[in-house]
Structure 1
Amino acid sequence: MSTGVGPDVRQASSHADDPHEAIAEVAAGLDAADASVVFLFCSARYDRNALGRAIARAFAGRPVVACTTAGELSGSTGYVAGSVTGASIRSPRLRVATRLIAPLDDFDATRSTETVQTLVDEVATDGLDPERQFALLLIDGLSMQEEAVAATLHGSLHGVGLFGGSAGDEMHFEGTAVYHDGAFHEGAAVVAMFDSGHPFHLFRFQHFEPTDIRMVTTAADPASRKVHEIDGMPAAEAYARAVGVDPAELDGHVFARHPVMLRVGGEWYVRSIQQALPDGSLTFYCAIDDGLVLALGRGVDLARSIRESFDRLRDTHGEPRFLLACDCIFRRLELTGLDALEAGSEALRGLPLIGFNTYGEQFRGLHVNQTLTGVMLGNDES
Structure 2
Amino acid sequence: MIDGTRMRSHLCGIQSAWTETSDVREAVASVAALLDREPIGHLLVFFSPAYDAQDLIAAVDHHFPGVALLGCSSSGGISPAGAIDRGLVAIAFPRQGFRIVSDVLTRIDRLDVGGAASAVRSLRRALDQVRPDPVPGSQFALSLIDAMAKAEETVVSAVAWALDGIPLVGGSAGDDLAFAGTVLIHHGAVHTNAAVLILVETDFPIRIFKSDNFAPTPRKFVVTAACEEHRRVHELNAEPAAWEYAKAVGLDPENLTPMSFAAYPLAVKVGGEYYCRSISRVEPDGSLTFFCAISEGAVLTLAEPHDIVEATRAELSGLDEILGGLDLVIGFDCVLRRLDAESRQVRHRISDLYSRYGVVGFETYGEQYRSMHLNQTFTGIAIGRNHPA
TM over 0.5, shorter chain: yes
* Contact 2:354–2:360 under 8 Å retained in 1: no
RMSD: 1.8
1:166 aligns with 2:172: yes
Q: Name the counterpart of 2:93.
A: 89
Q: Which secondary structure state, in structure 1, belongs to the residue aligned with residue 59 of structure 2?
A: helix
* Secondary structure of the corresponding residue to residue 28 of structure 1: helix
Task: Select which of 310, 321, 324 maps to 1:315.
Answer: 321
Residues 249-260 of structure 1 mapped to structure 2, 5 A cutoff: 249-260=255-266
* Residue number among 104, 107, 113 corresponding to 1:103 in the alignment: 107
> Where does residue 278 of structure 1 map in the other structure?
284
Distance 1:52 1:109 in 2: 29
Tell me whether 1:49 sits opposite 2:54 in the alignment.
yes
3-state DSSP class of the match of 2:356? Answer: coil
Structure 1 residue 154: Cα displacement? 0.7
How much does 1:9 deviate? 2.2
CA distance in structure 1 between the partners assigned to 2:199 and 2:135 by the alignment: 12
1:59 aligns with 2:61: no
- Call closer, same or farther: CA 1:106–1:33 in 2, change over 3 Å: farther
Are residues 1:236 and 2:242 paired? yes
Aligned to 1:112: 116
**Contact residue 98 and residue 200 of structure 2 kept, 8 A:** yes
Q: Taking structure 1 as reference, are residues 243 and 250 closer, same or farther at Cα in structure 2, changes over 3 Å only?
A: same
Corresponding position of 1:8: 13
Q: Is 66-75 or 193-202 further displaced after alignment?
A: 193-202
Give the 3-state SS of the residue equivalent to 2:317 in structure 1: helix
Deviation (angstroms), 1:324: 0.2
Following superposition, the deviation at residue 91 of structure 1 comes to 5.0
Summarize the Cα distance change of 1:169–1:188 in structure 2 as closer, same or farther, 3 Å threshold. Answer: same
* Residue 80 of structure 1: aligned partner: 84
- Which residue is 2:362 aligned to? 356
Q: In the alignment, is the contact (CA less than 8 A) between 1:32 and 1:38 conserved in 2?
A: no
Aligned counterpart in structure 1 of residue 376 of structure 2, from 359, 366, 370: 370
Aligned-residue offset at 1:342? 1.6
1:339-350 pair list within 5 angstroms: 339-350=345-356
Distance 2:109 2:256 in 1: 31
Deviation of 1:48 (Å): 1.9
Q: Can you give the 5+ residue segments of structure 1 that lack an aligned partner in the other structure?
A: none
1:274–1:282: 8 Å Cα contact kept in structure 2? yes
Range moving further from structure 2, 120-129 or 262-271: 120-129
Does the 8 Å contact 1:33/1:62 carry over to 2? no
CA contact (8 A) 1:23 1:51 kept: yes
Task: Give the secondary structure class of the aligned counterpart of 2:37.
Answer: coil
Check whether the contact 2:101–2:126 (CA below 8 A) recurs between aligned residues. Answer: yes
Q: Deviations over 1:64-99 (max 9, x none)?
A: 331110000011x22111121112232533100111
Distance, in Å, in 1 between the alignment partners of 2:155 and 2:317 is 32
Aligned mate of 1:201, from 196, 204, 207: 207
Q: Residue 138 of structure 1 contacts residue 164 of structure 1 at CA under 8 Å; is this kept in 2? A: yes
